[in-house]
């Protein structure tokens, strides 16, 4: 199978950790601003998940994934980019 027969998806993933030096209250405010969710919705979506792994964004564009990574990192949460290959 050639690489042209595979589609790459990138997932920007939050693993449940706040970056050292950030306070949870400020992070929640930052996330509310970025996502346009209420503080209560941010708490529920990002900090009440028992799985501690939240997919923030799925995209086939690595640059877009990097943009989201930077935006959410600046908000104060530890995020990563994970790849997944899909046969097409």
Domains and CATH numbers, the chain: 3-87 (3.30.1390.10)
d(CA 88, CA 70): 30
Residue 61 predicted with pLDDT over 70: yes
Report which of 49, 50, 67 is spatially closest to residue 59, judged by C-alpha positions. 67
Report DSSP letters for 68-79, one per residue: HHHHHHHHTEEE
pTM over 0.75: yes
Give the C-alpha distances (Å, rounded to integers) separating 18 from 5, 6, 22, 52, 57.
Answer: 38, 34, 7, 12, 18
Residue 1 predicted with pLDDT over 60: no
pLDDT tens digits, one per residue of 14-42: 989 999 999 999 999 999 999 999 999 99
pLDDT band at 4 (very low <50, low <70, confident <90, very high): low
Residue 75 predicted with pLDDT over 80: yes
């Amino acid at each position: 199978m050639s690489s042209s027969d595979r589609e790459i998806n990138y997932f920007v993933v939050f693993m449940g950790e706040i970056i050292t030096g950030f306070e949870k209250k400020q992070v929640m405010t930052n996330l509310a601003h970025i996502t346009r969710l209420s503080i209560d919705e941010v708490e529920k979506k990002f900090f009440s998940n028992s799985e501690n792994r939240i997919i923030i964004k799925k995209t086939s564009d690595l640059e877009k994934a990097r943009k989201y990574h930077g935006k959410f990192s600046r908000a104060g949460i530890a995020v990563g980019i994970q790849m997944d290959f899909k046969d097409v």
